[in-house]
Chain A
Amino acid sequence: MKILVAIKRVVDPGVRVHPLADGSGMDIAQAKMVMNPFCEIAVEQAIRVKEQMFSSEGVASEIVVVSIGAPVVQEQLRSALALGADRAIHIATESVLEPLAIAKVLHALIQQEQPQLVLLGKQSIDGDHNQTGQMLAALCDYPQGTFASRIECNADEVLVTRELDGGLQTLALRLPAVITTDLRLNQPRFPTMPNIIKARQKPLQLIPLAELALDVQPRLQTLAIESPTLRKKGIKVSSVAELVGKLRQEAKVL
């Protein structure tokens, strides 16, 4: 089985970021960058599917990991290779693409690679769009299992349990399918030193975005980026009785 995983390089989720003073973007030039946490879960799941398909059915799988962006995204591709991906594809561009454009790029790549399973994080923690997987599934005319917390792969079908606002839903998707990963799907492993060294030898293919000849022009114009109105820091109360008094008399919410 061939599994394609798309990953994104983002600011470390532990770093607090702020808009630039002129509102033109975020002040992230010096920030620590990592693989988007949801994408890490997608890479881990690909490795688990590969391990399970081999041990239960003797099926060999290949994991192809792809990222779109500047040369620095190769750091995250190498991380994915160190974790267990077999080869990497870097779609090179200096432009920041919108989700629809990213879906178009991945669609073009899927036509070349013909994977059975496509895994992505459910959202990136920078743009917070939560769109790319669904759009990719639409363009490929594949079924989609979004916000997955459990995946069970069979020969021609995958069972996906999805996390909904009011509970859990399980769907059966015909392969090939697109799945987007939620937090509880798995706990990603850490790479080992020998695997980090081995990853340097694994193939990393570079494809200039222009070679794909797609319409990736932005459809949205950003007018301003600003800080939200911050909540005013309140007061400390010294006892439960004082708290109840304030909530009743001052805030009038009880």
Chain B
Amino acid sequence: MTATINSKSVLVVVEPDANGFSPTNLKVMGAVARLREFIGLQVDLLVVGKDCAAVTATAARIPSIRQVLVADGASGEHQLAETLAPWIANLARDYDYVLMAATTFGKNLLPRIAALMDIQPITDVVAIVSASVFQRPIYAGSALVSVTTAQPITLLSIRASSFAAVQLGDAVAPITEIVPPKMQVMSRFISQQQVRTDRPELTSARVVISGGRGLQSSENFGLLYQLADKLGAAVGASRAAVDAGFVANDMQVGQTGKVVAPELYIAVGLSGAVQHLAGMSDSHIVVAINKDPDAPIFDVADYGLVADLFDAVPELIELL
């Protein structure tokens, strides 16, 4: 799989989700498109899983790719890192770049692949400055560091919220079946509790409403759901609200939770700790509703309303 002269080869590991093809993959392809502004690229996608025909068919509609490599078999069913890493590390040796999303899927898998290849990866990339310079946040986004590397293969994980999604096209790229990884015995899948919701997914929603400790209880989050229903929004939470047990952990927005960048972010009863700002400060418009006029969230809000949320949110629902 040598690239043609003057072009580099890229392997993108496709992330599956409960519904099949994760929209996050289109953001990773947005990062590939950015890389292409600096250098010619031959791009292969890798799909691994069990019964992954639907994911493969969607992946093949991504524009400007050379082919989709598919390994369909029982060994890939739960995408266990112990199974996938040695196998992907072997495939990756033929490429110049390997990219994955910086989701829990990619965070779990990419470093394991990298160590087997003796490569130091660059994780959570938020900007591609050139073909060899990448920017990533440190200290909860208090600083951005630009790094470069002379390693033979560049391994990157991409922060999806920082890149524009590419659109699926009508043309279908060639699909090449390859031999799935070998089963291993050191780890076994036991169970998965998938959160199913009719609401938009946090990281891809146009509007996100997040609640903090000010909501005071799990029941009071119902207010935010009512508002979310009006706006077609996803609902998130601060770490404080998650720690207090008001909502599940997968709703956490921040340094150690999800990173979102919606068109409209409404922060309700949430103080705005640095760790939280790390997860939402790229939002287009930020609204803060808090009764404490000195809450740091007001420093990053386009529109701030100093008010008791239990008065303001019902009124807002009424007016929309």
Contact = CB atoms under 8 A, between A and B. Distances in A.
Contacts, number: 250
A143 interface: yes
B120 A98 contact: yes
B121 A131 contact: yes
A138 B141 CA distance: 28
Given A125-B139, A159-B190, A243 B303 contact: yes
Interface in B185-224: 185-195, 203, 207
A100 B120 contact: yes
Contacts of A129: 123-124
Contacts of A11: 139
A224 B127 CA distance: 13
Nearest to B18: A166
Interface stretch (A16-24, A70-78, A80-88): A16-24
A225 B143 CA distance: 7
Contacts of A222: 145-147
Interface string A203-241: 000000000000000111111111110111111111111
B133 to A, nearest CB: 6
Which of B112, B123, B242, B284 counts the most chain A CB atoms within 10 A?
Answer: B112
Contacts of B175: none
B195 to A, nearest CB: 4
B123 A130 contact: yes
Interface in A78-103: 98-101, 103
A163 B104 contact: yes
Interface string B268-311: 00000011000001001111000000000011111111110000
A34 interface: no
B166 interface: no
B35 interface: no
Nearest to B133: A223
Given A219-B119, A235-B304, A240-B316, A138 B111 contact: yes
Interface residues of B, number: 90
Interface in A99-121: 99-101, 103
A122 B315 CA distance: 41
Contacts of A243: 287, 303, 305, 316
Contact of A233 (B80, B141, B299): B299
Nearest to A176: B186
Contact of A100 (B119, B139, B316): B119
Interface string A152-187: 000000010011111111111110010000111000
A103 B119 CA distance: 12
Contacts of A144: 81-82, 108, 112, 187
A57 interface: no
A35 to B, nearest CB: 16
Contacts of B85: 138
Main DSSP-derived SS at the B contact region: mixed
Interface size range of chain A in the complex: 35 or more
Contacts of B18: 166
Contacts of B111: 99, 130-132, 134-135, 138
A134 B109 CA distance: 8
B114 interface: yes
A17 B249 contact: no
Interface string B153-179: 000000000000000000000000000
A241 B319 contact: yes
A228 B137 contact: yes
A170 B78 CA distance: 11
A142 to B, nearest CB: 7
B33 interface: no
Interface stretch (B49-57, B59-67, B90-98, B256-264): B256-264
A251 B145 CA distance: 31
Contacts of A164: 104-105, 250
B23 to A, nearest CB: 12
Contact of A135 (B114, B148, B256, B287): B114
B306 A228 contact: no
A172 B187 contact: yes
A67 interface: no
Cβ-closest 5 pairs across A and B: A234-B302, A135-B115, A219-B120, A134-B111, A138-B115
Interface of A: 11, 13, 16-19, 26, 98-101, 103, 122-123, 125-132, 134-139, 141-144, 146-147, 149, 159, 162-174, 177, 182-184, 218-228, 230-241, 243-244, 246-247, 251, 253-254
24 contacts: A17-B139, A98-B120, A125-B255, A128-B136, A128-B140, A132-B111, A137-B81, A162-B104, A166-B250, A167-B192, A172-B187, A172-B188, A173-B187, A174-B185, A182-B249, A183-B239, A184-B243, A222-B146, A225-B144, A231-B300, A237-B305, A247-B287, A251-B285, A251-B302
Given A26-B143, A173-B187, A219-B149, 4 more contacts: A19-B143, A134-B111, A137-B112, A230-B300
